[in-house]
Amino acid sequence: MIETTIARIIEEVNSLSLPGPGYTRPSYSPLETQAHAIIAAEAEKLGMTVTRDAGSNLFARMPGRDRAAPPLFIGSHLDTVPMGGAYDGVAGVAGVAGAMALAASFAESGEMPPVDLVVTVTRAEESVWFPVSYIGSRATLGRLTAPEMEAHRADTGETLAHHMRLEGGDPDAVLKGPGLLPASFVEIHIEQGPVLHQADEPFALVNGVRGGLRYRNAGIDGVWAHSGGAPRAERADAVFAFADLVSVLDRHWAAVLCEGLDLAVTFGRVDAASDEHAFAKVPGRLEFAVDIRSGEGTVLHQMDAILKQEIAAIEARRGVLFRLGAQSCSKPAKLSSGLNARIAEGAARLGLAPRVMLSGGGHDAAVFATAGWDSTMLFIRNWNGSHNPDEGMDVKDLAAAVRVLAATFADRQARA
């Protein structure tokens, strides 16, 4: 039953995509809305009550035995990065496919969950579309700001507020709040690295989510020149300046890791291929994006200072000018040790002992935790990485995690 539900929902949602390779469902797009409609229809078949908030986040509620107690929210998002994989946003979240499978298992057994079970499908988790982190979850918690509503989507150039209205939301109501009151939130997601696959473990508990510091629209202005005629000392080469920055940040990254601290540095976009660039020209301009992540806020601030210090040195040495542009950031989040302990007990009843690990990627669970919720995550084993068309996941691994949640929150051995 659980495997069947998961596989069917994944297939139905992944039928909605822009042309490949992989899967593309932009944030606040008609495709994302249609994916939400699939989950709404599934929930209504189970007799769940479906509602949407002002940010067009979807909630499907199954009554529990104690209606007065804070509910259990479980879910994630259905938008994807451009040409992403089949699971990051559907079952990598699996707070959608997995949460629906959990609700279906309760419905099939005829047993009510101990508290209201609320399948939660957030909007716009993938911040590649808008330069704003965790849009949907922050909308439902009343934490979006008016300037963020004016952020422009990468493909259309239209504002977040505009796209939110097109898909049935009310930006003004989002800004007025109030947000949801604290409760419990569980998010299931494919691991975005190789740890579980290499260890041959089906799933894990997550105790924290890295924060991120990003300059999405940075650039370097140099001086265009003839490749054969310009002496080295007279050049202001944007590409060599960028190479200097990459090399020096890599050395700082290694040094931070040697200190036993957490850090990841990524230059996720590099563009030196405009019509102005040519084989016989010294590059006079380069555009790039840098993404710095850590589980420790002090490390993020330290690396931001180092980035700016090294840029100043390169500018003086190379005769170029860096443009970092606007900064976007998210804070590291500690997830619920109490909720993790409870889920670990449920796993033990099924003879399982999942490891506890840090999430390198950002997730909605971090927003709920920061807002005072009892919030955590389960990672599902994945191979071939994440945010690419070749993501891998075994439905059986996700089903095992769902059974653990059923054993945890129903105080019974989960049934298939």
Which residue segments constitute the domains of the chain, with CATH numbers given? 2-209+332-410 (3.40.630.10), 212-330 (3.30.70.360)
* pLDDT given at position 92: 40
Name the pLDDT band for 408 (thresholds 50, 70, 90).
very high
Does residue 330 have a pLDDT over 90?
no
Paired with 333 in beta bridges are: 209
Whole-number Å distance between alpha carbons of 127 and 362: 10
CB atoms within 10 A of CB 257: 12
3-state secondary structure of 291: strand
Q: Which residue has the tokens 């619920």?
A: 336
CB atoms within 10 A of CB 365: 29
Q: Is the pTM of this model over 0.75?
A: yes
CA angle in degrees (0–180, nearest 5) for 128-129-134: 75
* pLDDT given at position 14: 86
* pLDDT given at position 90: 44
* pLDDT given at position 197: 93
Q: What is the pLDDT of residues 188-240, one digit of tens each?
A: 998 888 899 999 999 999 999 999 999 999 999 999 999 999 999 999 999 99
Q: What rounded mean pLDDT belongs to the chain?
A: 92
Does residue 112 have a pLDDT over 90?
yes
The encoded tokens of residue 125 equal: 């988790």
Name the pLDDT band for 270 (thresholds 50, 70, 90).
very high
* pLDDT given at position 176: 96
Whole-number Å distance between alpha carbons of 20 and 134: 25
Whole-number Å distance between alpha carbons of 131 and 326: 9
**Amino acid sitting at position 243:** A
Contact 284, 239 (CB under 8 A): no
* pLDDT given at position 94: 64
